[in-house]
Amino acid sequence: MNKDLKIKTFNPKVSIIILSYNQEEYIKEAITSALNQTYTNLEIIISDNGSTDSTKQIIKIFLNDDRVIFLDHKENQSISLRQNQAAKKATGEYISLLYADDYYLPTKIEQQVKIFSSLSNEWGVVHGPGIELDNRSGSRQPISSTKAHGSCLVQLFKEYSDGFINPIAPLVRTKTYLEFPLYEDIFSEGESLYWRIALKYKFFYFEAPLVVMRYHDQNMGKAIKKNMEMHLICLDRLAASHEFPKDAILPLAEYRAGIVFSNAWHCLRTNFEIAWAKKLILTSIKSTPKSLLSFRYFVGAIFILMPEKLIFYANEIINMLSRKKFIAPLEDYYN
């Protein structure tokens, strides 16, 4: 068959899953961005996780479109559970995730389906970068994200400073997605799902940004302590998997030490959960003692020895001299 003809006739259904919870300010734009995709063979599965604002009422406005399926949950439970429930309802060949406070650019699905049309079944994910929209200033800037391509598990660990998999950028084969249900005993597994997928499938990186993520006061990424605790659980389970390759053991250990230090340092610099942050940094240094040769770990070790009151004063001086102030984490986001 002519390759151009094959691409033109490749028209699989795509299931867009929108996860919402108390996002009345943004949900309309999220749904509209899904419905207005240039690719039209879609179903939109909206899972509302027990919203108490007007989110549910806004969603119902769109139910006259037969592409929209509304999973109206009364109770707020784990995001992982809701994500799994929505995925099981999907009838498309591909799944694309969207949070209700973010949105897609118009050609997101079309561009990624076109890429999949020329890929074999060993490729499970097409992903790429995104754009960050500051909700206060309206400014936009690129979001750093990994350029992981091909068989990329080790790359995901070694190049984590480039960023993680953008959580709403991927288009994933539904068969692949369902092979790796999210851990429902964890409130939100998040992007660590892609480590497990990378054990078996190749990733295709497409460099054009196709998604927009809002930066606002209640972003889940600011819940540093909760996110870090869940992240470490996922790392431990990944390492314990019988499918985990030997060549990824050291990169995982180095990644773990680095990500633990980065999050703990952020907490120390914002005077947040200081005792917990100190414990994390000490754990990171113990796991990789040679890290003390680097300047940032050396400074972190000094912070560990400082009393809490002195850390407050040190942060004030550093902020004044560097004119840099870290964004305060959320104290309690999750139920």
Residues 282 and 260: their CA atoms lie apart, in Å, by 10
Q: Which residues of 212-242 are buried (b: 16+ CB within 10 A; e: fewer)?
A: bbbbeeebbebbbbbbbebbbebbebbeeee
Q: Which helix (H) or strand (E) holds 236?
A: helix 224-240
- Which CATH code, of 3.40.50.1100, 3.40.50.150, 3.90.550.10, 3.30.70.890, is assigned to 3-216? 3.90.550.10
Percent above pLDDT 90 for the chain: 60
| Phi and psi at residue 69, to the nearest 5° | -120, 125
Percent of the chain with pLDDT over 70: 91
Give the neighbor-by-neighbor strand order of the sheet with 14-20: 68-73, 42-49, 14-20, 94-99, 171-173, 123-127, 202-205
Helix axes 274-287, 295-305, angle to 10 degrees: 130
Q: What is the pLDDT of residues 105-120, one digit of tens each?
A: 999 999 999 999 999 9
Rounded CA gap, 33 and 10, in Å? 22
Give me the residue spans of the domains in the chain.
Answer: 3-216, 224-322
Helix, strand, coil percentages in the chain from 3-state DSSP, rounded to 5: 45, 15, 35
Of the two residues 162 and 195, the one the predictor is more confident about is 195
| Average pLDDT value for residue range 36-60 | 98
* C-alpha to C-alpha distance for 49 and 83, rounded to whole angstroms: 10
Give per-residue pLDDT as tens, 253-312.
Answer: 989 888 888 888 777 777 677 888 888 788 777 777 777 777 777 777 788 888 888 877
Indicate the pLDDT class of residue 161, thresholds 50, 70 and 90: confident
pLDDT of residue 335: 40
Q: Are 167 and 182 in contact (CB under 8 A)?
A: no
Predicted confidence at residue 299, as pLDDT, reads 78
How far apart, in Å, are the Cα atoms of 224 and each of 134, 204, 270?
A: 19, 29, 11
Q: Which two tokens stand for residue 259?
A: 């990500």
- How crowded is residue 332: how many other Cβ atoms within 10 Å of its Cβ? 8
Task: Give yes or no for a contact between 21 and 82, defined as CB atoms under 8 angstroms apart.
Answer: no
